[in-house]
Amino acid sequence: MRDPQRKSCLVTGGAGFLGSHLCEQLLECGHEVLCADNFFTGSKRNIEHLLHHPRFELMRHDITFPLYVEVDEIYNLACPASPVHYQHDPVQTTKTSVHGAINMLGLAKRLHAKILQASTSEVYGDPVVHPQREDYWGHVNPIGLRSCYDEGKRCAETLFFDYHRQHRLRIKVMRIFNTYGPRMHPSDGRVVSNFIVQALRGEAITLYGDGLQTRSFCYVDDLVDAMLKLMGTGDAFTGPVNVGNPVECTIRELAERIVAMTGSRSEIVYLPLPNDDPLQRCPDITLARESLHWEPKVPLHQGLESTVRYFERLLSRQD
């Protein structure tokens, strides 16, 4: 007889950085997990330790095509999330956000399932309000190089709330701010993975602009904890809710910290700032504190140490 507390959970993008950690934690909580991924940016290496778990199933699938499965909850994480990857095929990126949302919402509607959308701080664009609150509508370039991701995610949020209003679908929308940790893709172009890989290889640390632009970095374990808490809230709470670390640091400070932590002799070199790259990005997490009873616990130095150790092991296998 099935445990009534056990849920069947679909995680799209489940072999990716965030998705693999979420799959792992859902199994820890006693649930059944169906991981769907087309492996554009995800990797079997991220979930190979789960492949023989009796409550885990892997399916190769692209969510721009409909999916017919039976589940209780859907976590929609599928979409390339770094500029290097989402700008590689911008049309497909928009399709993944928009067509993927339509397909997963249609599945949730048919199953009467609860569904969570992994949205992003990119919906705020290059913000003129700081820190960013959920009631801020954003400052986004609709035709820039980043628009395939920014506007795709904004449209996905629109679809989620229209399905909620029109079909009474049980939705959850989380706006994720810079997350880092083990299983990041070494070539994803994000600052944490970039700096660590460059430092470990003794290469120049490439810093864009003057390095004074700020970001706030949230460790992956804290992010997954918030995701589970959001899915566990009552139907009246839909979000959107910001999830991230409100402690800011400059990109230059991050680079210097990683160089010191790795004992690298890498020099920092400065390159022109990319188009539409935001100068400030920091969440106001008041709503997450009040509604999810959540705030990040892992300090930056501790999270970076775990991430550096992961990349040391990864690069040693590649050499």
Return the pLDDT at 94.
92
Residue 149 lies in a domain: yes
Q: Would you state the pLDDT for residue 215? A: 87
The whole-number pLDDT of residue 277 equals 65
Domain assignment present for 128: yes
The percentage of the chain sitting over the pLDDT mark of 90, rounded to a whole number, equals: 76
Give me the phi and psi of 151, to 5 degrees please: -75, -30
Closest CA to 209 of 269, 128, 139: 269
Taking 70 as the threshold, does the pLDDT of residue 275 lie above it?
no
Which DSSP helix (H) or strand (E) runs through 317? helix 300-318
Q: What is the mean pLDDT of the chain?
A: 93
Reported as a single tens digit per residue, the pLDDT across 78-87 is 998 767 777 8
- The pLDDT score that the predictor gives to residue 84 is 77
State the angle between helix axes of 191-201 and 300-318 in degrees (0 to 180), rounded to the nearest 10. Answer: 50
Q: Is residue 3 part of a domain?
A: no
Assign residue 45 the CATH number of its domain.
3.40.50.720
3-state secondary structure of 22: helix
1 is a domain residue: no
Q: Is the preceding peptide bond at 240 cis, omega within 30 degrees of 0?
A: yes
Tell me the pLDDT tens digit for each residue of 146-167.
888 899 999 999 999 999 999 9
Closest CA to 39 of 18, 62, 55, 57: 62
Establish if 278 belongs to a structural domain: yes
Confidence of residue 212 (pLDDT cuts 50, 70, 90): confident
- Pairing between strand 214-216 and 248-250? antiparallel
Q: Are strands 8-12 and 32-37 parallel, antiparallel or unpaired?
A: parallel
For 28, the token pair is 């820890």
Residue 141 in any domain: the answer is yes
Q: What domain range includes position 249?
A: 8-318
Catalytic annotation, residues:
149
* CB distance 288 to 294 below 8 Å: yes
φ/ψ bin of 13: left (φ > 0), alpha (ψ from -120 to 50), beta (otherwise): left
Q: Which residues does residue 242 pair with via DSSP β-bridges, in sequence order?
A: 175
Asked whether residue 229 carries a pLDDT value surpassing 80, the answer given is yes
Q: Residue 262 belongs to what H/E stretch?
A: helix 251-262
CA 42 to CA 299: how far, in whole Å? 26
pLDDT digits over 187-199, tens only?
888 899 999 999 9
Q: In the predicted model, is pLDDT for residue 273 greater than 80?
A: no
Q: Is residue 238 part of a domain?
A: yes
What local confidence, expressed as pLDDT, does residue 259 receive?
94
Asked whether residue 58 is assigned to any structural domain, the reply reads yes
Angle at 221 between CA 220 and CA 222, to 5 degrees: 90
What mean pLDDT do residues 309-314 have?
A: 94
Question: What is the domain count for the chain?
Answer: 1
From the number of C-beta atoms within 10 Å of its C-beta (0-12, 13-18, 19+), residue 133 rates as middle
What distance in Å separates the CA atoms of residue 114 and residue 29, rounded to the nearest whole number? Answer: 17
